[in-house]
């Protein structure tokens, strides 16, 4: 399934692009993600913990930068993982494009996600809502990291900035789903014109 997000940060494209070159630092901004081991140039091993309501799945796997275009300010990443029990598998093709937006930057994120096992049973709506919540948190955490970098604060001093509880993420995703259903239910009926 393809999930697209747009994140805006009030930092120039050059600063955001420089930040995006450090994959472990970028991963530290995503709640539940940790790229703990470098396997080679632009190739990392790590874990991602995904909380979908009451279910928590921990994927261990690899992420690799397969394309980096400085002129177009585009990065493409492929990632694969398997959960600790071996029942769930995930793969992700991630494309990030940076565009100037006033004095800041818009980060367009396209995620092609493939899930199997328990995680695949949640359906597109729930997975999309959880992903949108995670992307919002990622944007806030990235902003925090960029601000700290400008102030000369180390990443180690920000360890708590990226954490988010599974319950909080699940509740926020459920709220998004309720709002989506409410909009459908309460929108005025417009007969089709044939």
Per-residue pLDDT, 177: 46
Average pLDDT score, the chain: 78
- pLDDT, one tens digit per residue, over 112-169 is 888 887 766 666 666 677 777 778 888 888 888 888 877 777 666 655 444 444 444 4
pLDDT of residue 72: 96
pLDDT tens figures, 7-40: 999 999 999 999 999 898 888 888 888 888 999 9
Per-residue confidence (pLDDT) for residue 154, from 0 to 100? 67
Is the Cβ–Cβ distance between 132 and 151 less than 8 Å? no
Could you tell me which CATH number the domain at 2-186 has?
A: 3.30.530.20
CB 82 within 8 A of CB 69: no
What pLDDT, on a 0 to 100 scale, did the predictor assign at position 120? Answer: 66
Which pLDDT band, with edges at 50, 70 and 90, does 101 fall under? Answer: very high
Q: What is the arithmetic mean of pLDDT over 88-108?
A: 91
Give CA–CA dist 176/194, Å, rounded. 33
Give the integer Cα–Cα distance in Å for 7 and 133: 12
Q: How do the domains of the chain map onto residue ranges?
A: 2-186
pLDDT of residue 18: 93
**What pLDDT does 158 receive?**
56
Residue 118 is classified by DSSP as G
pLDDT tens, position by position, 52-70: 666 677 889 999 999 999 9
Number of alpha helices (DSSP H) and beta strands (DSSP E) in the chain = 4, 7
**Helix boundaries (H) for the chain:** 13-20, 23-27, 123-151, 166-186
């Amino acid at each position: 399934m393809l999930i697209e997000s747009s994140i805006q940060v009030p930092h120039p494209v050059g600063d955001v692009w420089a930040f995006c070159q450090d994959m472990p630092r970028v991963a530290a901004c995503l709640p539940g993600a940790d790229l703990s081991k470098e396997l080679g140039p632009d190739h990392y091993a790590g874990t991602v913990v995904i909380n979908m309501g009451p279910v928590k799945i921990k994927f261990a796997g690899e992420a690799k930068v397969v394309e980096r275009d400085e002129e177009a300010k585009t990065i493409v990443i492929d990632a694969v993982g398997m959960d600790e029990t071996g029942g769930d598998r995930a793969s992700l093709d991630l494309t990030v494009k940076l565009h100037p937006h006033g004095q800041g930057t818009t980060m367009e994120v396209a995620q092609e996600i493939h899930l199997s096992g328990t995680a695949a049973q949640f359906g597109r709506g729930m997975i999309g809502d959880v992903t949108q919540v995670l992307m919002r948190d990622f944007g806030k955490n990235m902003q925090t990291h960029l601000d700290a970098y400008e102030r000369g604060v180390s990443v180690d001093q920000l360890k708590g900035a990226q954490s988010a509880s599974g319950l909080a993420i699940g509740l926020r995703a459920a709220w998004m789903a309720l709002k989506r259903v409410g909009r459908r239910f309460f929108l005025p009926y417009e007969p089709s014109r044939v």
